[in-house]
A and B are shown apart, each in its own frame.
Chain A
Amino acid sequence: MTRAWGWLRYHAVSIWAALAIAYLLIPIALIAVFSFNDPEGKFNYTWSGFTTKYWGDAFAIPDLNDAFLTSLRLAALATIIATILGTMIAIALVRHQFHGRRAANFLIVIPMATPEVVIGASLLSMFLIYGISLGFFSLLLAHVMFSISFVVIVVRSRLIGFDRRLEEAARDLGATPLTTFRTVTLPLLTPGLVGAALLAFALSIDDFVISNFTSGTTVTFPLYIFGAAQRGIPVQVYVIATMLFVVTVAAMVFVTWQQRRAEKMAEVRADDDETGLSALASGKEPISPAGSAA
């Protein structure tokens, strides 16, 4: 009895962690599992047999395909525009002194804190007031608008940690400001930009609330699912959702790996005295150039 109690106490943290992770992941796993279900009725809510037939014809429903393609196109365009604009805003906020910079730094996070319903409703009335017809274009405007803040936040934090002496070194070696940006600043910002872009993409592709207000007759993937839920969600939705999930996870792993690599590279600073010391201690440091050249 006491031994069991001791075992529990010793592993308490692991057990809690396992429970928490299960709580987070079971719903997602369920979607993947039910994409292999063979439902008897219209509703895919109870397990009634294993099949791969819906994976075989994942794209058999034209409306679903259209909605999915619309979402992909929308997310891709919104991501490109938001990443470019957001990066420019971040550079202005970090690198330049101008009137209202502090205010801008604060205001840029407000769209993140505002409830989506509020943004959606106000965007809808704005589009109506200015006579912008609802459809793909109004959706694009809305998606760029709400994802830009996230891009700014991510890129800004990378810029703050940026070693500006690298840019001085480039200029010193004869690079014009534009060449410096292209050959030094941009390559070193890339991991941050990729992270920001993925975030913008993820936000756009699964947005429902704001899209619902601003879509007009255009149907995106989340809007299709919501509509379909009334009459019974086809299994293909589970299949496509699982595909999307796998791609997203792969992209996240890629970004994390990229960022780790960038951080490792950024460790090349004069202040890591250890490098020199440890090299010296292990006798690797060639004091005479002739020795190592030979």
Chain B
Amino acid sequence: MSLRGITKRFGEFTAVDDIDLDIKEGEFFTLLGPSGCGKTTTLRMIAGFEEPNAGQILVAGSDVAGLPAHKRPTNTVFQSYALFPHLTVRDNVAYGLKRKRVGKDEISKRVDEELQRVGLAAEANRKPNQLSGGQQQRVALARAVVNLPKVLLLDEPLGALDLKLRKGLQLELKRIQQEIGITFVYVTHDQEEALTMSDRIAVMNRGIVEQVAEPVEVYERPATTFVAGFIGVSNLMPGVVRSLSGDKAEVELEAGVTVSAEANGLATGEQCHAVVRPEKLFVAKKGEVAPQQGADAQSVDGVVASSVYLGTATQLVVELRGGSRMTVLCPNTDESERQSLPGGGAEVSLSWTPEHIHLVRESDSERATADHEALGMDRSAAA
């Protein structure tokens, strides 16, 4: 399935801005982003509930953009489940097959199979309001999957459930997807959910796709500052590219050191940010290097702003020169080590292995916001 130049405007507001996506057959593909980023609108355009202002939606080679929802080869699992309250669980699941005029015997066979798969065979004759939230969610899934759509669309299907239940259902969804081999397009704002379940993730912000990559790639090598901040903790050190040699860039950080890292297409003189994930940072007294580190470790000085005990780890926030704050996770594996960690106000040195530093550009969408705000201020000043 592919999206080509899809754009959706609501009056003045552009919800989805000229996005292109290619989703492979049988893939678990996630649209991840904060609320209002356009992910649900994108899903609704694929389902046929919204018409794009421009662009093509190709499912199995043919453009479905002009087709009404009931003629599209897609099915949706709604966030609110949208189960028919006047029908039994069995009739809910059979609804789509009845519309396709499938034979009675085949309907009852396939519905039984599907209810078996989601573990609700015993609840077949109940009404939706007699089921728990998790069970309703499974009925919604069965009702969509039983039609064997080319693409299954899921709009934050676990959003209304409590954490423990959600974890269980994440694994179950993934299992079902692998079992039936249907392409899943999954919308969520929960980065952890996206990382656990997806084959690939598209990170969206303000109607734009910031990065499309596998979970490991998105976490370890985010493409932009927005992706780096949305997935995990925003550990950004601003800097300028001073020189390039091969695919390496020498970057002078505001924090006062120059580091070498993969250039990622940056040019000399360009502004960028260096990212190091909290669990890959080590802390030591100023002037020392943490014992775990090799000889090639890079380091920077800072002052501890806060220290919080989290159970499995201790979280330090270290403020660098220039004001950027870095979060460090120190695993609480050894009690005496934990007690020797520096407290608030201590001068420390942060270090990391060169392969764990990663350079990112400032997001276009975030720059756009800044411009927009500046414009707004000009306008109010003029008025």
In the complex, are the beta carbons of B160 and A273 less than 8 A apart? yes
In the complex, are the beta carbons of A173 and B133 less than 8 A apart? no
Q: Which of B70, B83, B129, B172 contacts A176 (CB 8 A)?
A: B70
Q: Please provide the chain B residues from 118 to 146 with a CB less than 8 Å away from any CB of chain A in the complex.
A: 118-122, 127-129, 131-136, 138, 143-144
In the complex, are the beta carbons of A276 and B95 less than 8 A apart? no
The answer to whether the Cβ of B82 comes within 8 Å of any Cβ in the partner chain is yes
Whole-angstrom CA separation of A269 from B81 in the bound complex: 7
Contact with A along B130-171 (1 / 0, CB 8 A): 011111101000011001000000000001111011001000
| A: number of interface residues (CB 8 Å) | 43
Chain B neighbourhood of A176, CB < 8 A: 70
The answer to whether the Cβ of A288 comes within 8 Å of any Cβ in the partner chain is yes
Q: A269-B80, A270-B81, A275-B133 are in contact. Are A289 and B95 (CB under 8 A)?
A: no
- Chain A's interface: helix, strand, loop or mixed, by majority? helix
The answer to whether the Cβ of A163 comes within 8 Å of any Cβ in the partner chain is yes
Whole-angstrom CA separation of A292 from B134 in the bound complex: 13
A133 to chain B, nearest CB (A): 45
Q: Please provide the chain B residues from 154 to 198 with a CB less than 8 Å away from any CB of chain A in the complex.
A: 159-162, 164-165, 168, 172
Q: A173-B147, A270-B160, A280-B165 are in contact. Are A168 and B82 (CB under 8 A)?
A: yes
Whole-angstrom CA separation of A287 from B95 in the bound complex: 26
The answer to whether the Cβ of A42 comes within 8 Å of any Cβ in the partner chain is no
Q: Which of A163, A264, A266, A284 contacts B132 (CB 8 A)?
A: A284
Size band of the interface chain B makes with A = 35 or more
Q: Please provide the chain B residues from 3 to 20 with a CB less than 8 Å away from any CB of chain A in the complex.
A: none
In the complex, are the beta carbons of A166 and B84 less than 8 A apart? yes
The answer to whether the Cβ of A107 comes within 8 Å of any Cβ in the partner chain is no
The answer to whether the Cβ of A171 comes within 8 Å of any Cβ in the partner chain is yes
Chain A neighbourhood of B116, CB < 8 A: 293
The answer to whether the Cβ of A277 comes within 8 Å of any Cβ in the partner chain is yes
In the complex, are the beta carbons of B129 and A280 less than 8 A apart? no
Whole-angstrom CA separation of A272 from B130 in the bound complex: 13
The answer to whether the Cβ of A216 comes within 8 Å of any Cβ in the partner chain is no
Whole-angstrom CA separation of A166 from B80 in the bound complex: 10
Chain A neighbourhood of B118, CB < 8 A: 289
In the complex, are the beta carbons of B120 and A264 less than 8 A apart? no
Q: Which of B96, B133, B168 contacts A272 (CB 8 A)?
A: B133
Q: Please provide the chain B residues from 326 to 360 with a CB less than 8 Å away from any CB of chain A in the complex.
A: none
Chain B neighbourhood of A284, CB < 8 A: 132
Q: A174-B70, A265-B127, A276-B162 are in contact. Are A169 and B86 (CB under 8 A)?
A: no
Chain A neighbourhood of B298, CB < 8 A: none
Contact with A along B68-82 (1 / 0, CB 8 A): 111100111011111
In the complex, are the beta carbons of A173 and B161 less than 8 A apart? no
The answer to whether the Cβ of B99 comes within 8 Å of any Cβ in the partner chain is yes
A262 to chain B, nearest CB (A): 8
Whole-angstrom CA separation of A170 from B92 in the bound complex: 10
A219 to chain B, nearest CB (A): 43
Q: Please provide the chain B residues from 253 to 298 with a CB less than 8 Å away from any CB of chain A in the complex.
A: none
Contact with A along B38-58 (1 / 0, CB 8 A): 000000000111000000000
In the complex, are the beta carbons of A174 and B99 less than 8 A apart? yes
A176 (CB) vs chain B CBs: closest residue: B70
Chain B neighbourhood of A272, CB < 8 A: 133
Whole-angstrom CA separation of A165 from B156 in the bound complex: 14
Whole-angstrom CA separation of A235 from B86 in the bound complex: 46
Whole-angstrom CA separation of A246 from B75 in the bound complex: 50
In the complex, are the beta carbons of B121 and A293 less than 8 A apart? yes
A276 (CB) vs chain B CBs: closest residue: B133
Contact with B along A169-183 (1 / 0, CB 8 A): 111111110010001
A61 to chain B, nearest CB (A): 45
The answer to whether the Cβ of A279 comes within 8 Å of any Cβ in the partner chain is yes
Q: Please provide the chain B residues from 99 to 127 with a CB less than 8 Å away from any CB of chain A in the complex.
A: 99-100, 116-122, 127
The answer to whether the Cβ of A187 comes within 8 Å of any Cβ in the partner chain is yes
Q: Which of B70, B122, B168 contacts A287 (CB 8 A)?
A: B168
Chain B neighbourhood of A57, CB < 8 A: none
Chain B neighbourhood of A276, CB < 8 A: 132-134, 160-162, 165
In the complex, are the beta carbons of A285 and B76 less than 8 A apart? no
In the complex, are the beta carbons of A268 and B78 less than 8 A apart? no
B157 to chain A, nearest CB (A): 9
The answer to whether the Cβ of A62 comes within 8 Å of any Cβ in the partner chain is no
Residues on B close to A: CB < 8 A? 47-49, 68-71, 74-76, 78-86, 95-96, 99-100, 116-122, 127-129, 131-136, 138, 143-144, 147, 159-162, 164-165, 168, 172
Across the A-B interface, give the 9 residue pairs with the lowest CB-CB distance, nearest first: A289-B119, A276-B133, A279-B132, A265-B85, A173-B96, A270-B80, A174-B99, A270-B160, A169-B82
24 examples of A-B residue contacts, CB within 8 angstroms: A163-B82, A168-B82, A170-B95, A171-B69, A172-B48, A172-B69, A172-B144, A173-B99, A173-B143, A174-B70, A174-B147, A179-B99, A265-B85, A265-B127, A265-B128, A268-B83, A268-B136, A276-B133, A277-B162, A279-B135, A280-B134, A280-B162, A286-B119, A289-B119
Q: A172-B49, A279-B133 are in contact. List 17 more A-B contacts (CB 8 A).
A: A163-B82, A169-B78, A169-B84, A171-B69, A171-B70, A173-B70, A173-B99, A173-B147, A184-B84, A268-B136, A270-B79, A275-B131, A275-B133, A276-B161, A277-B162, A288-B119, A292-B122
